Amino acid sequence: MAYSTASDVKYVLNIPQTILTEDTELGIWIGTADAHLDAALVKFTSVPLVVIPTQIKWLSAMYAAAHYREARDESRAAGSYLRLITDGYLRTYLSNTYAKGKVVELPADQTVSVSS
């Protein structure tokens, strides 16, 4: 089960819900986003998550939106900016939920480390 839906991603992207032509592509980006989240979450819990917290739902939608924007923007600026913001939200979520307030880093290689 995906962590977010095409409807969630459309909300982030401000795409009207009645436009269905993007749904297949958004589904692909949701899969990519969820794989990224699973790679971060696996250090702390079993994945894929069975119960999806609201924060994970929106992180999935935001990462999927970032991928969607990057695929359409030659400079990749809009998607990269959204990804940067979402990385910060993910670090905060992991730190507060699993790492007992420790700083959680997401290196470029997408592995997760926790500093003491």
Query: In sequence order, what are the residues at sequence separation of 6 or more whose Cβ sits closer than 8 angstroms to the Cβ of residue 55?
Result: 89, 93, 97
Per-residue confidence in pLDDT tens, the chain, 116 aa: 999 999 999 999 999 999 999 999 999 999 999 999 999 999 899 999 999 999 999 999 999 999 999 888 766 777 788 989 999 999 999 999 998 877 777 755 454 445 54
For residues 82 and 66, the answer to whether their CB atoms sit within 8 Å is yes
**pTM of the complete model beyond 0.95:** no
Q: Which of 115, 94, 116, 80 is nearest to 40 (CA)?
A: 94
Burial label for 17, CB within 10 Å (0-12, 13-18, 19+), is exposed
Query: 3-state SS string over 8-19?
Result: HHHHHHCCCCCC
Q: Which of 12, 105, 108 is nearest to 64 (CA)?
A: 12
